[in-house]
Amino acid sequence: MMPLQRSSRDARKPTRRLDAASIALTLFFVLLAAMQFLALQDGITEVAYSDFQQLVAARQVDNLEVTPTRIRGSLKMPGAAPYLPASDAMALRKRGEPWRFATTRVADDQLAQTLSAAGIRYTGDVDSAWPGMLVSWAIPLVTLFFVWHLLLRRSGGLQQYTKMGKANAHILVQDETGITFDDIAGIDEAKAELRQIVAFLRDAERYRRLGGKIPKGVLIVGAPGTGKTLLAKAVAGEAGVPFFSVSGAAFVEMFVGVGAARVRDLFEQAQAEAPCIIFIDELDALGKVRGAGLTSSNDEREQTLNQLLIEMDGFKSNSGVIIVAATNRPETLDPALLRPGRFDRHIAIDRPDLNGRRQILAVHMRHVKTAPDVDLNELASRTPGFVGADLANVVNEAALHAAEADKAAVDMADFDEAIDRAMTGMERKSRVMNAQEKITIAYHEAGHALVAHSRKHCDPVKKVSIIPRGVAALGYTQQVPTEDRYVLRHGELLDRLDALLGGRVAEELIFGDVSTGAENDLERATAMARHMVTRYGMSERVGLATVGDSTEHLGAQGFDRWRAAFCSDDTARLVDEEIRRMLDEAHSRVSATLDTQRATLERIARLLLEREVLDHEMLQQAIEGKAHESARETVAG
């Protein structure tokens, strides 16, 4: 809670400063208006020039000051007021002595003679330009400067622009990272490769005396959430050296040359703090292939990349500065970055296997109070394909779910809910379906479950549900592999293809019609069949040639380029025919399976409508025909 409170106070500080500045600016303008009003109301009454001529003729004026544009003076007492309009006379009476007036001078060549003939004392003067300049220039300039200063403080001050070429790197030392290799699990091979870097940073002389050169750069490649940044922080934590962390996107700005200046500044800071580690996250934002754009290149990004290459060549291998970078798109990096002498060592972090997931879960459960029934092996087997960030989220969601239920410890039911939420989204109890839709979904999911159970190479069905979850999932069939698989045979892929079509075929068999609920199933089935034909060489008609894999990164207009560059129109047509053939054959196999086991299909669907969620044991009982008997015994008991 404390960080949230500090963030709230920090967020209110600019608003408070802005309110105070607004009040000060308002008071300034009020004071300026008051000064101008008082200047206009300085005891001088403005009269018409014709009235001034009558006062001169009556010899009722004295002490005149004549300028090229104005005439100022005072009136004699008494008898001056009757010569003025009633309003001016009343104003003069209220003021008392002296009665002063002013008028705008009209072109009159006889004025001096008239005043001399009347015996009126007068003096001459020139108009001063300073008051006008003060009003028309000085005051607006002061006001504009005040507003500019206010806006500049609001945006961060002049230092924001003077530091534009500085690297936005955060220097972290061991006490601030607080991460070691003990905090990382599931990537033992990556840790083993980085231990040599740690040893060099701790005792560089051992390598220097034998003439060995430590790698200048280490590139960590892996899917999002696999722990790339965490691994780099652990290296700094193990070695106890400063840790410079910066994002690749922080170098690229709208101003040309700023990115290159930031790269130079970062390496200057690192050389001053050597030995240390520079960590560049999301390197692909900075190091994309130069000149790869179809229209034009990004000069600023390419200049920044060139500066990075120069800096990596400029310092010595044994200087004590190690560059660690992370990316999840290594295929987009410029080849100049990957050659020896720059990023010498490449470390790939794959998704953790069963044992790795068990270790990661154990790390994240250190500070979580768990119940005795929590089985790490079971949780690890139910989360295939999960990365470290996903597993950390599962543990956190389970703890939140247990706290919401006011439990003393987190049990397996909480972890089950957390895994379901991570896979399919939050349970949507507010989404109310009509009876016909619910029946359709029940038969659809029953078809998936029954076909998956009847195929030898399909993963076991762990759970079947018709409760809506997430944005679009109206139901789901959860299959959990018994072991990690990296290679699949042709027969295994065909079994998985059948399981994907089980829901669609069940709708056809029971209702004689189909719904839109099989959209995602058909998309995945088509992609699987396309890979079998174009990547895996599992089509006798197409043969062993790989003709796919080039449309994925080309977008909507890329398919025509793929056909022209990688295969002929006849081959593309043959690929489409083979995909359709595989899907049609899978449809026939699934239709035969469900037609012969229609009674079992209906039994599973009815049980789903009654209970909404079936686990593995309940599904097995429904398939064996024992589900209704056990349900009756439960009700009777």
For 408-451, how does the pLDDT look when each residue is reduced to its tens digit (9 = 90+)? 999 999 998 898 888 877 776 666 678 888 999 999 999 999 99
Percent pLDDT > 90 in the chain is: 20
Query: Which residue among 424, 443, 476 closes a domain?
Result: 424
pLDDT in tens, 245-257: 888 877 776 556 6
Considering the domain boundaries, does residue 25 fall inside one? no
Catalytic residue among 273, 311, 417, 445: 445
90 and 236 in one domain? Answer: no
Query: Which residue among 396, 424, 452 closes a domain?
Result: 424
243 and 115 in one domain? Answer: no
463 annotated among ligand-binding-site residues: no
79 annotated among ligand-binding-site residues: no
pLDDT at 532: 94
280 and 243 in one domain? Answer: yes
284 and 196 in one domain? Answer: yes
pLDDT in tens, 480-500: 887 777 889 999 999 999 999
Token pair in block for residue 4? 């949230």
CB atoms within 10 A of CB 405: 12
Considering the domain boundaries, does residue 185 fall inside one? yes
407 annotated among ligand-binding-site residues: no
180 annotated among ligand-binding-site residues: no
Considering the domain boundaries, does residue 218 fall inside one? yes
Considering the domain boundaries, does residue 37 fall inside one? no
343 and 470 in one domain? Answer: no
The residue segments making up the domain with residue 409 are 354-424
- Cα separation, 52 vs 71, in Å, equals 9
527 and 508 in one domain? Answer: yes
pTM for the model stands at 0.64
180 and 75 in one domain? Answer: no
pLDDT at 562: 39
414 and 314 in one domain? Answer: no
Query: Which residue among 392, 424, 456 closes a domain?
Result: 424
pLDDT at 530: 94
pLDDT at 552: 43
Considering the domain boundaries, does residue 83 fall inside one? yes
- Cα separation, 337 vs 345, in Å, equals 11
- Cα separation, 97 vs 106, in Å, equals 27
448 annotated among ligand-binding-site residues: yes
492 and 400 in one domain? Answer: no
State the greatest distance between any 2 C-alpha atoms of the chain, in Å, as a whole number.
135
3 annotated among ligand-binding-site residues: no
Domain CATH number, residue 69: 3.30.720.210
Which contiguous run of DSSP H or E holds residue 144?
helix 139-155
Query: What is the per-residue DSSP string for 356-422?
Result: HHHHHHHHHTTTS-B-TT--HHHHHHT-TT--HHHHHHHHHHHHHHHHHTT-SSB-HHHHHHHHHHH
Considering the domain boundaries, does residue 29 fall inside one? no
- Cα separation, 223 vs 527, in Å, equals 21
How many separate domains does the chain show?
4
pLDDT at 39: 53
259 annotated among ligand-binding-site residues: no
414 and 525 in one domain? Answer: no
Strand order in the sheet with 217-222: 170-172, 243-247, 276-281, 321-327, 217-222, 345-349
Q: Using an 8 Å Cβ cutoff, are 384 and 256 in contact? A: no
Secondary structure in 3-state letters for 494-553: HHHHHHHHHHHHHHHHHHCCCCHHHHHHHHHHHHHHHHHHHCCCCCCCCCCCCCCCCCCC
Domain CATH number, residue 390: 1.10.8.60
pLDDT at 251: 76
500 and 463 in one domain? Answer: yes
Q: Which residues of the chain have pLDDT under 50?
A: 1-18, 80, 158-162, 164-165, 174, 294-296, 550-565, 629-637
453 annotated among ligand-binding-site residues: no
Given the DSSP bridges, would you call strands 243-247 and 170-172 parallel, antiparallel or unpaired?
antiparallel
374 and 345 in one domain? Answer: no
Query: What is the per-residue DSSP string for 30-58?
Result: HHHHHHHHHHHTSSEEE--HHHHHHHHHT
- Cα separation, 499 vs 586, in Å, equals 9
Considering the domain boundaries, does residue 323 fall inside one? yes
Considering the domain boundaries, does residue 88 fall inside one? yes
223 annotated among ligand-binding-site residues: yes
What contacts 260, CB < 8 A, 6 or more positions away?
A: 303, 304, 306, 307
CA 566, 567, 569, 572 torsion-angle sign: negative
Task: Tell me, yes or no, if 445 is annotated catalytic.
Answer: yes
600 annotated among ligand-binding-site residues: no
pLDDT in tens, 3-27: 333 333 343 444 444 455 556 666 6
153: exposed, middle or buried (C-beta count within 10 Å: 0-12, 13-18, 19+)? middle
Domain CATH number, residue 545: 1.20.58.760
